[in-house]
Each structure stands twice: as C-alpha cells, then as structure tokens.
C-alpha cells in the first residue's frame, strides 16, 4: 500500500479514536450506534432500510466529530468570550442536534411497527441471510476494535498500526470463522484458518503487534463470528 495513503488512513482512524477517548457525547453516540446495529439483526430490514439506518448513524457520528473539530479550533484561536465564537459553536451544535433528530425519526419509522409486533418477527429470514450476517459481524468487529484501541491505547505505535488489539487479526479470524460456518467443509475451514494464521504471523514478524495483541484480536474475531452465526444463524 502506498505509504502516504496508509498515513492518511492512520490519521483518520486516530481522529476517530481521539474523539472517542475525549468526547463524552461521541462515546454515547458510538455506543448507541453499536447497539442499534446489533438490534437490527433481529429485524427483516430491506437493503434500502438498512442503508438508511447506516446513513443516519454515520450522519450523527460525522456531525459530532465536525462539531468537536470546530469547538477545538475556536478554543485554539481564543480563550476569551466572543459572541461570534459562541455563535459558531451554537451553530455546529445545532447541526449535531438536527442529525440526531433525523436519526430518531428514522429509527422510529424503521423500528416502531416491528417492535410492536416483536413476537411475529420472521427471524428465520435473517438467519438465512449469510451476506447480511457477514457484513454485520465484520462491522461489529471493526467498531469494537476501534473502541478497544481507544480505551487501552498505550502510546505505542499508531492507531492504525499497532495498539491493544490487532484489527487485522480480528477481521481475518472473523472471516475464517464465517467461512467455517458457511462452507461446512473441514478442508476449506482449514485453509481459511491457515490464511488467518498467516495474517497473525505477519503482524508479529513485522513487529507491529505482540503475541498477546494478536491473540486478543484473533479471539475478538472468533467470538463475534460465533455469536452472530451461532446465535442467529
């Protein structure tokens, strides 16, 4: 991968993690986002409905991050009260409020009727949707990896490379677990596990992660894969 592109990814992930570590509202929105995505597993959403749900969640998180960046920039420029600075902060906070209200409306429209007849949900349809479950499992792994990196950041390495848990291993072993459930073939499962182990070995060989961090990443990926496919599959 181009070095400059990798650095851009690293800076972007660092921004998410810093916001998660320092901003209480961002932590709340991030946690709610994970819970809503988990809840969506139990509902027979169409692709358009699921896309609207993801867009609403992303809009709230992006708005919160932009609001944080604006507030920090103003604080950097001046520590004294100024009506224009107050106006800018209020406007950026208003943008977050609008995006949050939009997400509430979307959530109400998507969930209310289904929640009111929860006992009649066709859970078996979701269970048979391997593509949907795969996407959800990987998305949860990525979200939890970022949260764990933010929570237990030790100041070593970068947020995109290194950290408390290996994101590459988490994704690789989650994919290997999913392949094992879908293929139901010992040979294919062995090949998938072998590829995941190669990913783990490469992270240790490159001295990006320690053995413990690689093991934690592998366990995270395996556990999420099992929970999603064994619990709902």
Give binding residues for ATP as ranges. Answer: 23, 71, 89-90
Torsions phi, psi for 80 (to 5 deg): -90, 155
Q: Would 55 be classed as within a structural domain?
A: no
- The verdict on residue 114 lying in a domain is no
Q: Does 158 reside within a domain?
A: yes
Domain that holds residue 129: 122-233
Q: pLDDT-based confidence at 118, cuts 50/70/90?
A: low
Domain assignment of residue 147, yes or no: yes
Given a cut of 80, whether residue 3 has pLDDT beyond it is: no
Distance between CA atoms of 61 and 71, rounded to whole angstroms?
15
How far apart (Å, rounded) are the C-alpha atoms in residues 29 and 64?
9
12 domain-assigned: no
For 155, counting Cβ atoms within 10 Å of its Cβ (0-12 exposed, 13-18 middle, 19+ buried), the class is exposed
Known binding-site residues equal 23, 64, 71, 89-90
pLDDT, tens digit, 9 for 90 and up, residues 131-155: 778 888 888 898 888 888 777 766 6
Q: What is the pLDDT of residue 8?
A: 81
Six token digits for residue 199: 């990913």
Q: What pLDDT digit, counting tens, does each position of 87-114 carry?
A: 888 898 899 889 989 998 998 888 877 7
Across the range 192-198, mean pLDDT stands at: 92
Q: What is the residue-averaged pLDDT of the chain?
A: 82
Banded pLDDT at 160 (limits 50, 70, 90): low
Q: Is residue 53 part of a domain?
A: no
Which segments are annotated as binding site for a divalent metal cation? 23, 71
Asked if residue 177 belongs to a domain, the reply is yes
Q: What pLDDT, on a 0 to 100 scale, did the predictor assign at position 219?
A: 93
Using the predicted structure, report yes or no on whether residue 170 has a pLDDT greater than 90: yes
Q: Name the residues annotated as catalytic.
A: 64
The DSSP annotation for 160-214 comes to SSSSSS-HHHHHHHHHHHHHHHHH--HHHHHHHHHHHHHHHHHHHHTTSS-HHHH
Q: Which of 35-39, 119-123, 196-200 has the lowest mean pLDDT?
A: 119-123
pTM higher than 0.85: no
146 lies in some domain:
yes
Residue with more model confidence, 106 or 184: 106
Counting the structural domains of the chain, the total is 1
**pLDDT, position 116:** 59
Return the residue matching tokens 């499992």.
137
């Amino acid at each position: 991968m181009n070095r400059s592109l990798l650095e851009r990814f690293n800076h972007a992930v660092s921004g998410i993690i810093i916001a998660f570590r320092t901003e209480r509202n961002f932590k709340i929105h991030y946690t709610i986002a994970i819970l809503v995505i988990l809840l969506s597993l139990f509902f027979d959403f169409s692709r358009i409905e699921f896309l609207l749900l993801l867009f609403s969640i992303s809009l709230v998180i992006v708005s919160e991050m932009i609001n944080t960046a604006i507030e920090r920039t103003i604080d950097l420029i001046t520590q004294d009260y100024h009506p224009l600075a107050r106006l800018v902060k209020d406007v950026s906070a208003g943008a977050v409020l609008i995006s949050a209200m939009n997400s509430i409306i979307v959530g109400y429209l998507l969930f209310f009727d289904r929640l009111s007849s929860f006992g009649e949900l066709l859970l078996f349809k979701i269970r048979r949707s391997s593509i949907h479950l795969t996407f959800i499992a990987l998305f949860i792994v990525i979200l939890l990896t970022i949260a764990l990196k933010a929570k237990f950041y030790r100041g070593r390495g970068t947020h995109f490379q290194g950290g408390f848990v290996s994101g590459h291993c988490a994704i690789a072993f989650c994919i290997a677990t999913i392949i094992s459930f879908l293929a139901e073939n010992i040979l294919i499962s062995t090949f998938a596990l072998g590829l995941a182990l190669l990913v783990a070995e490469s992270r240790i060989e490159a001295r990006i992660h320690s053995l413990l961090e690689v093991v934690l990443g592998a366990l995270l990926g395996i556990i999420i894969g099992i929970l999603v496919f064994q619990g709902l599959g």
